[in-house]
């Protein structure tokens, strides 16, 4: 399906619950990477949306910051009936949802960022981090050497939220691979446990 301004963003929606989860894709993948996890949580009572940023995957090209795409994804889910929104992003997508958290029209109730660099294109996660006030979970593989330092720096800069957690899993797995069980991947147990507990605590599924 397509949604957003001019209906140029491609995404996949699952579930019917009132707790919505936006899954933002990483630069070397597409929304399809998140489909198994979005579908799994959709069956558990969430309303989920996995999407491609403009200029990536099946989404069209248009001007504007990535935060606009995140806002469009949130507004789509709220229009479908979600009353609470969680943002989950992998790598580039994590950077984008962190940067967008303080800019979106509807404030998310929690944010999960996996293997996220401090900045990507127009998204400045490190600059946004001190202004994030909602519960925050950041995760990275300790062997994901190109990203683990950035994740630690963003986490350290997130001084405004009282509910934050950093998980460095003993793996080189990157982005969505930390938590998703797909056809060619098994999640890292510690990362999956922390992610599942975080969602259950701050954003349980609701009908």
CATH number of 149's domain: 3.40.50.1820
Nearest residue to 138 (alpha-carbon basis) of 160, 119, 163, 120 = 163
Q: Is residue 77 part of a domain?
A: yes
Residue 172 clears pLDDT 70, i.e. is over it: yes
Chain-centroid distance, C-alpha 195: 12
pLDDT tens for 105-149 read 999 999 999 999 999 999 999 999 999 999 999 999 999 999 999
Phi, psi of 84 (to 5 degrees): -140, 140
Q: Is residue 104 part of a domain?
A: yes
pLDDT tens for 74-101 read 999 999 999 999 999 999 999 999 999 9
pLDDT tens for 26-72 read 999 999 999 999 999 999 999 999 999 999 989 998 777 999 999 99
The predicted structure's pLDDT at residue 61: 85
Question: Around 120, how many Cα atoms within 13 Å sit in the side-chain half-sphere?
Answer: 24
Residue 8: which domain range? 2-202
| Tokens of residue 36, six digits | 């198994």
The predicted structure's pLDDT at residue 183: 61
Model's pTM, two decimal places?
0.96
Percentage of the chain modeled with pLDDT above 90: 89
Q: What is the distance between the alpha carbons of residues 23 and 10, in angstroms, rounded to a whole number?
A: 12
The predicted structure's pLDDT at residue 116: 98
User: Structurally, how many domains does the chain consist of?
Assistant: 1
Give the chain's radius of gyration (CA, Å): 15
Q: How confident is the model at residue 22 (pLDDT cuts 50, 70, 90)?
A: very high
More confident residue, 64 or 156: 156
Tell me which H or E stretch contains 22: strand 19-24
The predicted structure's pLDDT at residue 5: 77
Q: Is residue 207 part of a domain?
A: no
């Amino acid at each position: 399906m397509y949604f957003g301004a001019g209906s140029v963003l491609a995404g996949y929606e699952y579930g019917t619950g009132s707790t919505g989860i936006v899954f933002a894709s990483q630069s070397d993948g597409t929304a399809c990477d998140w489909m198994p996890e979005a579908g799994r949580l959709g069956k558990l009572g969430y309303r989920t949306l996995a999407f491609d940023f403009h200029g990536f995957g099946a989404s069209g090209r248009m001007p504007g910051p990535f935060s606009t795409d995140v806002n469009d994804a949130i507004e789509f889910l709220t229009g479908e009936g979600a009353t609470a929104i969680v943002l989950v992003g992998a790598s580039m997508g994590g950077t984008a949802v962190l940067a967008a958290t303080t800019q979106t029209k509807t404030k998310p109730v929690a944010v999960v960022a996996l293997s996220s660099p401090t900045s990507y294109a127009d998204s400045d996660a490190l600059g946004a981090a001190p202004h994030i006030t909602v519960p925050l979970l950041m995760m990275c593989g300790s062997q994901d050497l190109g990203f683990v330092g950035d994740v630690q720096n963003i986490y350290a800069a997130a001084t405004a939220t009282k509910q934050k957690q950093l998980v460095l899993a003993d793996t080189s797995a990157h982005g969505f691979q930390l938590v998703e069980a797909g056809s060619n991947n098994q999640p890292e147990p510690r990362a999956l446990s922390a992610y599942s507990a975080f969602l259950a605590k701050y954003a349980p599924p609701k009908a």
